Amino acid sequence: MIKPTVTTADGCIQDVMQVCRNGHVVTDRLHTFPERGLSHCDRCGTATLDRCLTCGRQLAGSMFVPGLVPVGLPQPPQYCSACGAAFPWAKRSGSPSLTPLSLLENLLRRLPRVIRQLRTRQGDRVPFRVQDERDLEDLLRALLPLHFDDIRPESRTPSYAAATRTDFLLVSADTGHAIALTAKQVTLERRESRLAEQLREDAAYYARRSPYQTLIGLVYDPEQLLREPQRLEMAWSGAQGELDVRCVIAW
């Protein structure tokens, strides 16, 4: 049995909670019973996390009391007690609608579910399969108009690509916020180190461009080849000059 590792301000020992991005508690005793942990929520299918994506502090779970078994699941916190960052499921008062970034991130995280649905079609219709990044770009081109009106394809040939790639430049009509989206697919040949190099080159490219404030790097990992995707998301996200770089790993 693994000992709980979260210590509260008053010195009490707690286990670790795992929550999906929609706020469903998977377990509040992740360290005591790691087999109860899930990579995706069994209720809504979204990815799960057990720590703050900003500072890395683990989510406090059930109180550890020798000889007693807690009953029920507590509600997840809305904000991190260490750094104050809002969790993905936090409800923000005064915000009737999602921001363009939130809409885009939610779409990208649910993209694998769309891909799985398109593999099976009625009758003798040819299934749609994402076999490479060109297919991924085609699917994004079809889905982005669900949330964005101003979509500008950006054709470029980075040093790591053998052919021209298509990124998507999204501009919010309400706020003027400009987002660049680039998509990658994980393969046996393209894993952690090569993906990190590619994202750095992408960030350097868009840091020189105006008026883009945010770069979203979608990393589609259908075979789940990347270990610790949550840690990699944090490592590959950050600021490059005035450009906010965010990584979304979807599988």
Q: What DSSP assignment string belongs to the chain?
A: -PPP-EE-TTS-EEEE-EEETTS-EEES-TTT-GGG--SB-TTT--BEESB-TTT-PBPEEEE--TT----S-PPPPSB-TTT-PBPTTPPPTT--S--HHHHHHHHHHHHHHHHHHHTS-STTPPPP---SHHHHHHHHHHHGGGT-SEEEEEEE--TT-SS-EEEEEEE-TTT--EEEEEEEE--SSS-HHHHHHHHHHHHHHHHTSSS--EEEEEEE-TT--SSSHHHHHHHT-EEETTEEEEEEEE-
Contacts (Cβ under 8 Å, ≥6 apart) of 125: none
Share of the chain above pLDDT 90, in %: 46
**Comparing 93-102, 163-172, 193-202, which segment has the lowest mean pLDDT?**
93-102
* Residue, of 189 and 212, whose pLDDT is higher: 189
Domain with CATH 3.40.91 in the chain: 100-250
The pLDDT-based confidence of 95 (bands split at 50, 70, 90) is very low
pLDDT at 192 over 80: yes
Whole-number Å distance between alpha carbons of 148 and 122: 29
Share of the chain above pLDDT 70, in %: 86
Q: What is the mean pLDDT of residues 5-24?
A: 75
pLDDT in tens, 33-52: 899 999 988 888 888 999 99
- Average predicted confidence (pLDDT) for the chain: 85
**188-215: burial string, b at 16+ Cβ within 10 Å, e else:** eebeeeebeebbeebbebbbeeeebebb
With vertex at residue 240, the alpha carbon angle to CA 238 and CA 241, rounded to the nearest 5 degrees, is 130
pLDDT at 232 over 90: yes
pLDDT at 3 over 60: no
Q: What is the mean pLDDT of residues 81-107?
A: 78
User: What CATH number has the domain spanning 100-250?
Assistant: 3.40.91
pLDDT at 217 over 90: yes
pLDDT in tens, 102-121: 889 989 999 999 998 888 87
The pLDDT-based confidence of 99 (bands split at 50, 70, 90) is confident
Whole-number Å distance between alpha carbons of 79 and 76: 9
